[in-house]
Structure 1
């Protein structure tokens, strides 16, 4: 394994590799495997310009080993754009090499380039590893607001 990691914005050419990772990400969150639906979902997000996806690639293997997906949002109070860092995943065998950090950096750089107010994210309560990296990067756990969700 090379230490050379390359981060860039994903394109349609990356769809199949990203879909495989997206499917693995969903499995991590206890969802059933469905590679074709994962691919179709991502294709629709890209074609409709509804999300921004960054990939991290092992330069030596020419293999995409991780991704993050951002969804746009807006703050009515500040009247500014905001981004939801909805997904971040690195293949298990490539963890600990800085890929997640590089994806977080790319997301922050992108948010800055769009004059966003900030980035928001959520993670599973038991995902301590993710919580540590988010907190090391300045993300703060919300102790001010309760979050609610209506399943339809």
Structure 2
């Protein structure tokens, strides 16, 4: 694994984060509108970078050349003493190089520093690769989310 570094995101990271939005929606079920889902990330990421929720963080993984190769958007829930991974994405070029593992380790350190007792995330049922990575990192299935669209 190449030497990776971690830094807090800045508003200048918005184009990079948006470039990975299609990777976040690629495994959505067929009944979802992927283009609409992908477009919705513009507002979410803009808010996370310009008007972050209290306790939230956007962390960027960088390669040895200082180029961003992945990111995570995190929320802190103090009452539950839990961290929530809203999004985690790795660039296609960096896939398989340990960036996801690096981000998960960084998330664990971030959560522990706040006194977290657990880290939670949601992953598409159809994203089997990500689910395997999360399972290898010690995550276990807990809840099942069922969705009914109201169009």
**Distance 1:137-1:48 versus aligned 2 partners, 3 A rule:** same
CA RMSD of aligned residues (A): 2.7
- Per-residue deviation at 1:26? 3.9
**Distance 1:138-1:34 versus aligned 2 partners, 3 A rule:** closer
- Per-residue deviation at 1:148? 5.2
1:70-128 Cα offsets, whole Å, 9 max, x none, are 12335xxxx43211112111122211111000110111111111112211012122222
Query: C-alpha distance in 1, partners of 2:51/2:16?
Result: 19
Specify the SS of the correspondent of 2:72: strand
Runs of 4+ in structure 1 off by over 6 angstroms are: 33-36
Query: C-alpha distance in 1, partners of 2:147/2:38?
Result: 26
1:43 aligns with 2:79: no
In structure 1, runs of 5+ residues without a counterpart are none
The answer to whether the 8 A contact 2:25-2:38 is kept is no
Aligned to 2:31: none
- Per-residue deviation at 1:24? 2.6
Q: Of the candidates 59, 77, 85, which is equivalent to residue 54 of structure 1?
A: 59
**Distance 1:10-1:63 versus aligned 2 partners, 3 A rule:** same
The answer to whether the 8 A contact 2:73-2:87 is kept is yes
- Per-residue deviation at 1:36? 7.4
Query: C-alpha distance in 2, partners of 1:34/1:89?
Result: 15
- Matched ranges for 1:80-95 at <5 A: 80-95=80-95
- Matched ranges for 1:1-152 at <5 A: 3-21=2-20, 23-30=21-28, 31-32=34-35, 38-50=41-53, 51-60=56-65, 62-74=66-78, 79-142=79-142, 145-147=143-145
- Could you tell me the TM-score, scaled by structure 2's length? 0.77
Specify the SS of the correspondent of 1:102: helix
Specify the SS of the correspondent of 2:15: helix
